[in-house]
Amino acid sequence: MAGCYVHIPFCKSRCRYCDFFSTTKLSRSNDYINAVMQELSLRKTIFSDILRERDERLTTVYFGGGTPSALCEDNIVRILNAILGALDAQNTIQEVTVEVNPSDVTPTLLGAYRDAGVNRLSIGVQTFDDDRLRMIGRRHDRSMAIRAIEEARRAGFDNISIDLMYGLPNENLSDWNSDIDEAIAIGAEHISAYCLTYEEGTPLYMSMIRGEVSELDDDILNQMHDTVVDRLSAAGIYQYEISNFARPGFYSRHNSSYWTGSPYLGLGAGAYNYDGQHVRQNNITDLDIYIKSTNKAYQAGSAQYLPIEREVLGSCECYNEVVMLGLRTCAGVNINKIADDYQNRFIKIAEGYVAKGLLAKDGDYYKATRSGQHILNIIIEDLMI
């Protein structure tokens, strides 16, 4: 279940909590799109060979950011058509997702996406409260979010995911319940519910340092997590990963490929590539250098000149990834995916958490319980080498 991720780093404005690689230099968008196309041309044969050797097929394409919808829809369509032409000769792609900001949504944009083969939208709602939206620096308001989803339905999209965020400054459980009410009522097939983190260097982090805002207490955050799990489950939207919930049949195939260790192709500045075994590469997170270096590599006709950092994963790193990614899913870690050299160590530590009610064993899988999800990072760190 291999995937292709395309990073679109452009935003019309930056949210106060965001530390993803992004830029407001929209004037460079055409040069950037050309570079992404050149990178695809250089990488397509290498990635096709990886898939052939593993007897896998490309099944998903995901446009993330940044804000892909900040660009003219023709740019996204151009890249998607190139990917389909280069890597989908057997028509195996099942899911094509584009992240959109509610304020960018128009019938023209949605129609272009649908005609090109996009069949899933990820809409960055975050909250339905206008005051909190302004506080975190979002470009849209509640009415825009609702209108965007309604427009998407009219355009024929029947697989819509929305992002929600909890733990915002001064938010209480009642506020969070209101957001969940709206999300359920709006009928999204998939919901990602993330706890706000104050990333160092972001404007929101600086506000916290100055004492203007403060992080919520862990007990409140755990209540918010439990509330969204219980309420969405009662509405037929089930948790399948620590922060992701879906109606039956609507889980994110693309993100699931990351959690199960499938190979993926990453295009664009800051994007990652993985061969599904031991080699991971990431493109440089500098817009100008990425464009310039990719142009040079294309002119030379060789992917070896692309601006990348390469990491070869040893057995220890592979073990850590199996643990970290597996425990984030509700299925858990399959003990059979752990190398023999590390199984006894893993089982010994994991059984200690089972005794405490923080992990549960289900056949060949160890998974976090509800209480375990509250301290998942601590458990993962303990199990890793």
Check whether residue 68 and residue 180 sit in a common domain: yes
**Boundary residue ending a domain (224, 259, 294):** 259
Task: Output the average pLDDT for the chain.
Answer: 95
The answer to whether residue 206 sits within a structural domain is: yes
The pLDDT of residue 182: 97
Shared domain check, 328 and 252: no
Domain with 244 in it:
2-259
pLDDT at 88: 78
Q: Is residue 290 part of a domain?
A: no
348 domain residue, yes or no: yes
Asked if residue 165 has pLDDT above 90, the reply is yes
Number of domains into which the chain is organized: 2
Same domain, 242 and 366: no
Domain final position from 228, 243, 259: 259
Q: Are residues 110 and 193 in the same domain?
A: yes
pLDDT of residue 73: 94
pLDDT reading at 261 higher than 90: no
In a domain, 289, yes or no: no
Indicate if 76 and 147 belong to the same structural domain: yes
98 beta partners: 63, 121
Residue 73 near residue 112 (C-beta atoms within 8 A): yes
Asked if 130 and 250 sit in the same domain, the reply is: yes
Q: What is the pLDDT of residues 16-73, one digit of tens each?
A: 999 888 999 999 999 999 999 999 999 999 999 999 999 999 999 999 999 999 999 9
Instruction: Specify whether 77 is located in the same domain as 165.
Output: yes
Amino acid 50: pLDDT: 93
CATH number of the domain that residue 88 is part of: 3.20.20.70
Long-range contacts formed by 364-372: CB under 8 A, 24+ apart: 364/334, 364/335, 364/336, 365/331, 365/332, 365/333, 365/334, 365/335, 366/327, 366/332, 366/333, 366/335, 367/327, 367/329, 367/330, 367/331, 367/332, 367/333, 368/242, 368/327, 368/332, 370/226, 370/229
pLDDT for residue 14: 87
Q: Is the pLDDT of residue 164 over 90?
A: yes
Indicate the pLDDT class of residue 115, thresholds 50, 70 and 90: very high
251 with 322, same domain: the answer is no
Q: Single out the residue in 259, 276, 307 at which a domain terminates.
A: 259
